[in-house]
Structure formats: C-alpha cells, structure tokens
Amino acid sequence: MGDGVLMKKGLVMCIMFVFIVLGTMQNVQAANFKDMNQHTPLYIEASYLADRGIISGYPDGTFKPNALISKKHIAVMLVNALDLPTTALENPNYQDIPQTHPYYKEIAAAYSAGLFPKAEYFKPDAGISRAFMARLMAKAFDLEVLEGTEGVMEFSDVPRGSEFYSDIMKVTSNNIAKGYDNGTFKPDLLLTRAQFSAFLTRTLTLNTMNIMPDPNYVYYYTDGTSTYRYDYDQVEENGLAYWFITNETMHESIPRLGFRQDMNFYGEGYDDWYHYDRIIPFPFVVTQIHRDSDIGPVSYGDSWIIDTDMVRTVHGVEYRDVLAIKSYLPWENRTVYEYYAKDIGLIQATDSKGNEEYGLMYREVREGY
C-alpha cells in the first residue's frame, strides 16, 4: 500500500480516535544498536528479534544491518524463533558440517525440521537469496497464499511454473515481502542481516484478525474530559461502514467516521473528507507502515506496527490479540501509541509514558440485537 497512517493536525483537538496512535510495548526494551535507530529502515523488525533473543548484535554494539547474512546464522535464528529441539537430531551428513562444527547443532535442528534440503555441502558461510528466503518462511510457518489474492501479485522475473513461484506468492500475499517498483521481485538477490530479520519478524507476527468495530454494539470512549458515543449508522458508502459520533458531555455531534477492512488494508475516514485518515496494510505484521517522507498533503509522521498479539487491560477489561501501533509526530515532537483489539476496534490511545489520552470505557449491545 505505502499509504501508511494519514493524520490531519486540524482534527487532533476535535477527537483523538483517529489521530492518536498508541500501544506501548510493556516488559520489552527496544534494542539499542550504534548503527541503527528507529528511523533506520527495518530497525523495528531487527529490534523485535533482538529484544526476544532471536538475533544479537556484535560486541562493539553494532548490528551491521547491511552485511550479508550467512546460512549458519539463519539456522541459529530459526532454532531460536521456532524453539526447535536441539537433541536427538538427525545428522544431515553435510560434508562441510561435521559434528564438531560450532554450528552443527543449529544446522542439524533446522535440517531435522525439514527447513534445509539434503545436499552434499551446506556451505555455512554462503548467503541466501530472496527466493530461498521465501521457501524457508513458507516451510517454517506453513504459509498459504492469502485467500482472494491468487494471481493478483505477479512479477516479471518470477514466471508461473518457476521453482520458487509458489513460495514467493505466499510471502508477498501475506505482506511479508514486496516486489520492486519496476515490477520485479529480484529472486536471486542476496539478503542482508536487516532484510532477513525483517522477513522473519513479519512472518512471526503475521495476523489476519479483524479490527473493525462491531456494529452490534454501541461504544463509549473517554478522553478524560468528555464521553463519546459511537453508533453504527447502518449505512455503507464508498466501501466504508459509517458510525455516528456524539460528544455526550458537550451534547455535540461529530462528523461520521467510516471503517473498512479488506484483503489489502484497514482504513478509516470521515464522511466530509475525500481520503482515508488512517490506512494500515493487511495482513498485519510488525513493520513500518508510514514514513514522514511518504507522499501526502501534509506531514504525517512515522508509524510502525510494533506488535500484533499483545494482551492489554483497559478500564478493567483484559483484551487479547491486540494490534499495537507507534507513531512519531514531528510537528508536535512527540511519540504516541494506539491499540486495536480483535473484533472490537480501537480500545485505547496513550502518550509515550503510557498515560491514556483516549480509551474505551465499555460497550452496550445495540437496541434490537
């Protein structure tokens, strides 16, 4: 999609539902690498793995994101990510991987899991291509082509019938990998540490849950001062399902807000504007979803999905399968967060310290249901 999260400064004070982005990751400290920061491409994915002990940096405090990744290190990452057993292993009998090899255990574990094929040599220091990455991810996580996307994504350098065609379709339809602007996938391109980390993180965090608000309920939110009521309008226009919003404290109506979710994205937009105020690429994966430099009518900031299966308690209710988004707003020089719960929608917005700015107090079954 590339649209990311579109924010308009003029409505931030009007209502925080669309514009405050939250989801502070608790009990997880972001990895600090000397050669990466949150604005470095693929930082969020590399940090996700490092925080969970799946990959590590170097003794000098660097990550070396642009260094090519080797097969032996990929074996280690797969063992850590999948928690593969490392005892009672089948010997792969690679001529260059004796049982005394420092990475024998991890390579044998990945081989025993069916991730590496039989061969005379393993070539532990060799790199891997984008195509082989697709095969690894498809095998390791039993990926399938996302329903409704069959034949939609085609690349000029990956013809149907080619060896890796099916695997590449599986990772691209699930928002794990993308092609290039010229319509190619570049299947033979070798991967860097940052690139493989990104593909592994996105596969680990893949989530196809629904985050649309449930029209069978009336929602009540608070910004700490006023109470906002959301009622389904029972109207769908321009692909959006619209909801009435009322500030019950001030007895004021706010323009209707529309929602949609399909095989490409989740979106929100007010009915008096002509574009989406929020777009989240679907399926949901941990990755950057918008850059401040992306095309748009105003400066929108940087946004990242930072988790896809969090547990969070809001106003006494515990929610699972929570999508968490982090955004940096340059015009305010602050970071904000947002949480969306499965089959419910937005449940809370906070500042960078976790203070609530907008939150779901409760829901009531809509009259007649």
Structure confidence at residue 237 (pLDDT): 87
Between 261 and 298, the more confident residue is 261
pTM (predicted TM-score): 0.87
pLDDT digits (tens, 9 = 90+) for 57-92: 999 999 999 999 999 999 999 999 999 999 999 999
Task: Say what angle helices 193-204 and 71-82 make with each other, to 10 degrees.
Answer: 20
Side chain identity at residue 104, one-letter code: Y
Structure confidence at residue 25 (pLDDT): 31
What DSSP element (H or E) covers 336? strand 334-341
Compute how many other C-beta atoms are within 10 angstroms of the C-beta atom of residue 164: 20
pLDDT band at 14 (very low <50, low <70, confident <90, very high): very low
pLDDT band at 369 (very low <50, low <70, confident <90, very high): low
DSSP 214-256: PTTEEEEEE-SS-EEEEEEEEEEETTEEEEEEEETTTTEEEEE
pLDDT digits (tens, 9 = 90+) for 202-239: 999 999 999 999 999 999 999 999 999 999 999 888 88
Structure confidence at residue 6 (pLDDT): 31
Structure confidence at residue 274 (pLDDT): 65
**Percentage of the chain surpassing pLDDT 90?**
77
Least confident of 106-120, 170-184, 287-301: 287-301
CA atoms within 13 A on the CB side of 84: 26
Average pLDDT over residues 2-18: 32
Q: Tokens in use for 205?
A: 């965090």
How far from 41 is each of 44, 65, 194, CA to CA, in Å? 8, 9, 8
How far from 229 is each of 11, 111, 211, 359, CA to CA, in Å? 17, 55, 18, 12
Average pLDDT over residues 159-166: 95
Structure confidence at residue 331 (pLDDT): 85
Say whether pLDDT at 298 is over 60: no
CB 349 within 8 A of CB 337: yes
Say whether pLDDT at 195 is over 70: yes
Contacts of 262 (CB under 8 A, 6+ apart): 239, 282
Separation of alpha carbons 352 and 133, rounded Å? 35
CB 200 within 8 A of CB 81: yes
pLDDT band at 277 (very low <50, low <70, confident <90, very high): confident
Nearest C-alpha neighbor of 310 from the set 26, 88, 6 = 26
**Percentage of the chain surpassing pLDDT 70?**
87
Q: Tokens in use for 231?
A: 């009622």
Average pLDDT over residues 97-121: 97
Least confident of 30-39, 221-230, 334-343: 30-39
Q: For tokens 């498809």, name the residue.
A: 138
